[in-house]
A and B are shown apart, each in its own frame.
Chain A
C-alpha cells in the first residue's frame, strides 16, 4: 500500500516538473521503480519510459493549447535523439563512464550559470519599471 502512495506522490511531483521545465521525469521515476518496486536497473529504465509517455502526452497537450510547442523542431530532435541513443549504447561500453558523467555534470552547471545570468540581466533591465 505504501508503495502505491509513494508512486502516486512521486508521479504527481515528476509531472509538475515535466510541465514546468520540459523534462520527462525519468530522473525521479527510475529510482522509485528500482528502490520501491524492486525492479532491476534495466526494467526500471524501460518502465520509466512507459511512465514518461502519458506524462509528456498530457504536458504537450496542455502546452499546445498555449501555443508553446514547435512541432517541426520537436520531430527533428526526437528522431535525431533515437539515433543518438543507439550511438550512446554502443559507446557506453567503450568509454570510462565516470569521467564522461563528471564532464557532463560540469557542462550542466556551466549551462545553468549561463541561463541564470541571462535571466538576471533581463530582470535587471526591467527592474526600473518595477520601481515606478
Chain B
C-alpha cells in the first residue's frame, strides 16, 4: 500500500473528517475530498471515489450504533436512500464524462457554498 507518510496523512484526514461530521453534522466527504486533493495528491476522480468508500464504513458503524438505541427510521431512510443509489450511479457515470477541471471547479463551488453557509449561520 502507501508509504508511512501517506498512511499517517490518511489517518489524520479520517480523524478530522469524523471529528467535524460529529461536531457540525456535515458529511465526511466535504472534509476528505479537499484534503485528499490538496494534501495527499489524489486526482479529483480518485479522491471522490475513495471518499465514497470511506463514508460507507463510517455510515455502517454509525447507523449500527444509532439503531441499537432506536433512532433509525427505516421507511424514510430507504425512501431517500434507494433513489439516491440510482442517482449515485448516474453521478459517477456523469463524472467520468466531465473534464477534471470542470469537476474541480464545480466541487470548489459546492465547498465554498457550504463554507459560506457555515460562516453565516
Contacts and interface: CB of A to CB of B under 8 A. Distances in A.
Interface of A: 4, 7-27, 29-30, 32-33, 37, 39, 42-43, 45-64, 66, 68-89, 91-92, 97, 100-102, 104-109, 111-116, 118-120, 122-123
B77 to A, nearest CB: 4
Contacts of A86: 18, 22
Is the contact region of chain B dominated by helix, strand, or loop, or is it mixed?
helix
B31 to A, nearest CB: 9
Contact of B94 (A16, A55, A107): A16
B49 A60 contact: yes
A97 to B, nearest CB: 7
Given A15-B88, A62-B89, A75-B57, A68 B49 contact: yes
Given A59-B52, A88-B23, A115-B107, A74 B76 contact: no
Given A42-B71, A77-B32, A78-B57, A57 B85 contact: yes
B88 to A, nearest CB: 4
28 contacts: A15-B83, A15-B90, A20-B48, A20-B94, A20-B95, A23-B29, A24-B52, A25-B84, A30-B25, A33-B73, A50-B67, A51-B76, A63-B92, A68-B48, A69-B46, A71-B53, A73-B36, A76-B10, A78-B56, A80-B12, A81-B57, A82-B61, A85-B18, A89-B22, A108-B114, A109-B115, A109-B119, A111-B34
Given A15-B85, A33-B76, A66 B106 contact: no
Nearest to A45: B25
A105 B93 CA distance: 30
Contact of A51 (B33, B80, B95): B80
Nearest to B88: A59
Interface string B54-89: 111111111100110001111011111111111111
A12 B87 contact: yes
A15 B72 contact: no
B27 A26 contact: yes
Q: Which 6 A-B pairs have the closest CB atoms?
A: A19-B91, A15-B87, A84-B18, A22-B48, A80-B14, A88-B22
Contacts of A97: 23-24
Contacts of B66: 42, 45-46, 49
Contacts of A69: 46, 49-50, 52-53
